[in-house]
Each structure stands twice: as C-alpha cells, then as structure tokens.
C-alpha cells in the first residue's frame, strides 16, 4: 500500500515546450504536450510515453514508464523553473546510486 501523505499533488504541471534532455544533458527527440511526453527508447527506438503527474507512469523512480519494446524503464526529472525535463533510465539511475 502506498500513501499520499506528505506528497504534493501535481495537477497543474505542464511540460509543453520544455527542453527534453537525457541523463547526459543531450537533447533528445521527443514530443511534449500538456502533461505528457513521448520519446524514443534509447535502447531499441520504440516509442515510450511518460506522464508528468504524481503516481502516473514515468512520474518518478517509483513509477517508471516501461518500454514495450525492450523493457527498459524510464522516469522524468522535471525542473520547472528552468523549463527542462530530464529523462532518466531507471537501470542507469540505480547503477549510479549504488
């Protein structure tokens, strides 16, 4: 069971026109609109959709978005102030945080 206690609900997050970058800060091909961003899996090229809303797929490392092509998992790292959005691979994130 998970709890929303202490979590801020993000219902207004709009990422349209945000700069979409990978973990290395490289610009990646994507389509961001409203709360959603579509991008290509860096492993297999399959399209992946992530949603920038609390508890939705891809919103954070606990709710990754899974590539239907190869199973790679991704999550978003939104920097609202600078209008940037980083897309991290959960596998790489875990590897670099051990």
Binding site for Zn ion (CB under 5 A): 41, 43-44, 46, 67, 69-70, 72
In the complex, what is the shortest distance from the CB of residue 47 to Zn ion, in angstroms, rounded to a whole number?
Answer: 9
| Closer CB to Zn ion, 8 or 95, in the complex | 95
Closer CB to Zn ion, 39 or 86, in the complex: 39
Distance (Å, rounded) from C-alpha 31 to C-alpha 96?
27
Smallest distance, Zn ion to C-beta of residue 82, A: 28
74-93 burial: b if 16+ Cβ within 10 Å, else e? bbbebeeeeeebbbbbbeeb
Of 27, 73, 67, 23, the residue nearest 44 (C-alpha): 67
Closer of 37 and 41 to Zn ion (Cβ)? 41
In 17-97, where does DSSP find H-type helix? 90-96
> At closest approach, how far in Å is the CB of 67 from Zn ion?
3
């Amino acid at each position: 069971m998970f709890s929303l206690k202490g979590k801020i609900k993000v219902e207004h997050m709009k990422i349209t026109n945000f700069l979409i970058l990978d973990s290395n800060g490289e610009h990646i091909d994507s389509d961001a609109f409203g709360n959603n961003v579509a991008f290509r899996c860096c492993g297999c090229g399959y399209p992946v959709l992530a949603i920038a809303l609390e508890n939705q797929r891809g919103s954070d490392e606990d709710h990754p978005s899974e590539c239907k092509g190869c199973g790679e998992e991704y999550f978003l790292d939104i920097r609202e102030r600078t209008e940037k959005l980083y897309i991290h691979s959960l596998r790489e994130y875990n590897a670099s945080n051990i």
